[in-house]
Amino acid sequence: MTDLVWNEGYSIGHFQTDHEHKELISLANKVISFSNTGENTDKIQGALKALRDYTIIHFRNEESYMERIGYQDLENHKVCHAELVERVNEVIAQNTNLEDLVHGLKRLMVVWVIEHIVQEDQKIKEVSQV
């Protein structure tokens, strides 16, 4: 899998959130790089745990921002966040086989990092610009 690349179209126009999204992409790329170069499962899982831990912090920050701007769909967005964290925890817990772990990571990285930012977080931009 190739690296994920930040695109200004992902920006929601909030400095902290955009910065954190860029950091998430960087951490995701580390996980992808480890899987592409055949690092051992423990190293990949360690990088994935670091990504998960940073994501939890990011989600708290993003949800706080959404609350401050009066984002109407905050509760549903929180559910999306919880589901993404749960998916990562499942990949970490269930994939001790390197090939299975890499396959799970590749699917997760696209859904988690890119699709969530493009589809869900862009809704925040629409509200914050009103």
Mean pLDDT in residue range 50-78: 94
Structural domain contains residue 2:
no
Number of domains observed in the structure of the chain: 1
75 contacts 35 by C-beta, under 8 angstroms:
no
**How far apart are the C-alpha atoms of 48 and 30, rounded to whole Å?**
9
113: pLDDT strictly greater than 80: no
pLDDT class for 61, splitting at 50, 70, 90?
A: very high
Q: If DSSP codes are grouped into helix, strand and coil, which group holds residue 29?
A: helix
Structural domain contains residue 64:
yes
Q: What is the value of pTM for the model shown?
A: 0.85
Query: CATH number, domain at 31?
Result: 1.20.120.50
53: pLDDT strictly greater than 90: yes
Give me the domain span that covers residue 115: 8-128
Structural domain contains residue 3:
no
Q: If DSSP codes are grouped into helix, strand and coil, which group holds residue 3?
A: coil
